[in-house]
Chains A and B, each alone.
Chain A
Amino acid sequence: MTTSPANPVLLSDAAFALTLALLLVAPLAIAGVALINTGLGRARSAAQALMGNLAIVSVAAIVFALVGSTFAGSLPGGWGVAFHSNGKAWEWIHFGSLMLSGLNTAPAQSQLALLFEFLAVAMAALIPWGSGADRWRLTAGCAAAAITALVVFPLLAHWVWAGGWLAQLGANFGLGSGFLDAGGAATAHVLGGLTALAVIWIAGPRKGKFPKEGFSTALPGHNAVYVLFGCFICLVGWLAWNVAGAVVWLHAPLSALPGTAVNTLLAASGALASTFTVTRVRFGKPDASLCANGWLAGLVASSGCAALIPPFAALIVGIAAGIVTPLLVELFELALSIDDPSGAISVHAAGGLLGLIAAGLFAGPTGQFTAQLIGIATLLGLMLPLVYLLFALLNRVVPFRVDSDGERIGMDLHELGGGAYPEFVIHRDESYR
């Protein structure tokens, strides 16, 4: 079911036009995540947060266009490095044309695939930015985005989408259709979530988050309206994203696309309903920011499976994502001392993993579940240590964490010289008493 640049599938004009239109709407998913990240941060860092989202998307797009796309291998041509074992080729890395040369003459399928990858690399680079809120320097965030777009994402994208060894698991070893990731659950969301974990480990928690004695300090997001409106924007973007992914990576017929959209909506709705219930039971009232995280986790989970599973299964997956997300947010903060303001690890990493597992459980022929497990093992066992190593080295050159003075006055004043809300009085931080 997966394609490779060597043998692109011919798309009808209608399918091409529809998919292109969907991919032009899909950036709303990125805009929604950016708004959620900003709303979950503090008021004194809001402008830096949103500015950082824009800068990171720009850096990721430029680096991916100049060099990263060469390794991803979405455009025809170039050559791959493969190991051979038992007569089977394992393609690990690809060297294609530099700086998108040959884009205009490439088949329509390859052009759409490349556009999809541009969106996915922007999302993967953007996700950790919310986790480093209020302490991660803008320069360091852009440098990290460059590394993601240069090395980490292209490797994974080639393995999953462009005929690499994960995509060939089906042809080489009879494992279903190979590792399937039609909506970017692995390449964008799980990768972004694991990158967020690496960033949190390197940058450390916000000052005052984990006091010497007692429980962790609650540092609530500054604007619940941004967060909840971002969820609506995400829905539009995700519907376009998942439906476009079904055409680009699975070659789904047009008649199958409404089902993918329904599954996306059902997963998000199920997730919101279950997070609403869980937080209502645990805290007496539903928690707005956790409900937003639950909704987003449902959308992320749908990225892994919406094009592959029946509607009832999509609802189950969404409900599971909605139950797991608030519990993980609490576990990470209270038990594991992981300060993740945007909940990226719970939402994007855990939600994405859930979607990928669901694709193996509810869909596909024999061996699909094993193929999905192998993809997950690659993300956890190879990509996380690789990202941590690269970011730890980068941290020595471009320090991730802002100095204590910058953290005290807020990232807006420290990094941009002006606040997001100049007419508001910013309250003194109680944690510095």
Chain B
Amino acid sequence: MKYAGLFVMPAGFFLVIAAIVLFPDPVSRTAFVVCGLAVECLGLAVAVRGHMQSSRESHL
């Protein structure tokens, strides 16, 4: 689960890169950059959740 989260984070980064190239309009560009950041945060949340799960299992 931690690795899944860590794979999602670069996906968000590439969304940000795509936004810079594809959207000359500042509003839609910023919106897509924010979406990319949101994807990264989602990945980070999954990775943290995975870490919590694995540390709980190590106690069992």
Write the residues of chain A forming the contact surface with B, with a CB cutoff of 8 angstroms: 85-86, 169, 173-175, 201, 204-205, 210, 212, 336-338, 366-367, 369-370, 373-374, 376-378, 380-382, 384-385, 388-389
| Beta-carbon contact of A210 and B59 below 8 Å | yes
| Beta-carbon contact of A374 and B48 below 8 Å | no
- Indicate whether A370 sits within 8 Å of B48 (C-beta atoms), given known contacts A381-B10, A381-B16: no
Interface centre among A174, A380, A382 (most CB of B within 10 A): A380
The 8 tightest CB contacts between A and B, nearest first, are A381-B13, A381-B40, A377-B16, A385-B6, A380-B40, A381-B9, A381-B12, A370-B30
Residues of B within 8 A of A205 (CB): 55
Residues of B within 8 A of A388 (CB): 6
Residues 21-50 (chain B) with a chain A CB within 8 angstroms: 21, 26, 29-30, 33-34, 36-37, 39-41, 43-44, 47-48
| Beta-carbon contact of A337 and B55 below 8 Å | yes
Write the residues of chain B forming the contact surface with A, with a CB cutoff of 8 angstroms: 2, 6-7, 9-14, 16, 20-21, 26, 29-30, 33-34, 36-37, 39-41, 43-44, 47-48, 51-52, 55-56, 58-59
Interface SS majority for chain B: helix
| Beta-carbon contact of A337 and B36 below 8 Å | no
Residues of B within 8 A of A366 (CB): 26
- Indicate whether A374 sits within 8 Å of B51 (C-beta atoms), given known contacts A384-B9, A385-B10: no
| Beta-carbon contact of A86 and B21 below 8 Å | yes
For the complex, give the distance between the alpha carbons of A366 and B6 in Å: 32
Residues of A within 8 A of B13 (CB): 377-378, 380-382
For the complex, give the distance between the alpha carbons of A45 and B20 in Å: 48
- Indicate whether A369 sits within 8 Å of B2 (C-beta atoms), given known contacts A337-B51, A380-B44, A385-B9: no
| Beta-carbon contact of B30 and A376 below 8 Å | no
Closest-CB distance, B40 to chain A (whole angstroms)? 4
| Beta-carbon contact of B51 and A381 below 8 Å | no
- Indicate whether A377 sits within 8 Å of B20 (C-beta atoms), given known contacts A204-B55, A366-B26, A370-B26: no
| Beta-carbon contact of A369 and B30 below 8 Å | yes
For the complex, give the distance between the alpha carbons of A366 and B44 in Å: 29
For the complex, give the distance between the alpha carbons of A369 and B14 in Å: 19
| Beta-carbon contact of B30 and A373 below 8 Å | yes
- Indicate whether A204 sits within 8 Å of B44 (C-beta atoms), given known contacts A377-B12, A381-B9: no
Residues of B within 8 A of A367 (CB): 26
Out of B2, B7, B36, B52, name the residue touching A377 (CB < 8 Å).
B36
- Indicate whether A173 sits within 8 Å of B20 (C-beta atoms), given known contacts A337-B51, A366-B26, A370-B26: yes
Closest-CB distance, A233 to chain B (whole angstroms)? 32
| Beta-carbon contact of B9 and A380 below 8 Å | yes
Closest-CB distance, A352 to chain B (whole angstroms)? 15
For the complex, give the distance between the alpha carbons of A182 and B48 in Å: 30
For the complex, give the distance between the alpha carbons of A201 and B20 in Å: 32
| Beta-carbon contact of A204 and B58 below 8 Å | yes
Closest-CB distance, B44 to chain A (whole angstroms)? 7
- Indicate whether A377 sits within 8 Å of B51 (C-beta atoms), given known contacts A85-B21, A86-B21, A384-B9: no
Residues of A within 8 A of B34 (CB): 373
| Beta-carbon contact of B37 and A373 below 8 Å | yes
Interface centre among A175, A204, A374, A377 (most CB of B within 10 A): A377
Residue of A nearest to B56 (CB): A337
For the complex, give the distance between the alpha carbons of A381 and B33 in Å: 12
Out of B14, B29, B41, B51, name the residue touching A338 (CB < 8 Å).
B51
Residues of A within 8 A of B6 (CB): 384-385, 388-389
Closest-CB distance, B18 to chain A (whole angstroms)? 10
| Beta-carbon contact of B52 and A370 below 8 Å | no
For the complex, give the distance between the alpha carbons of A315 and B41 in Å: 27
Residues of A within 8 A of B41 (CB): 380
For the complex, give the distance between the alpha carbons of A381 and B40 in Å: 6
Residues of B within 8 A of A385 (CB): 6-7, 9-10
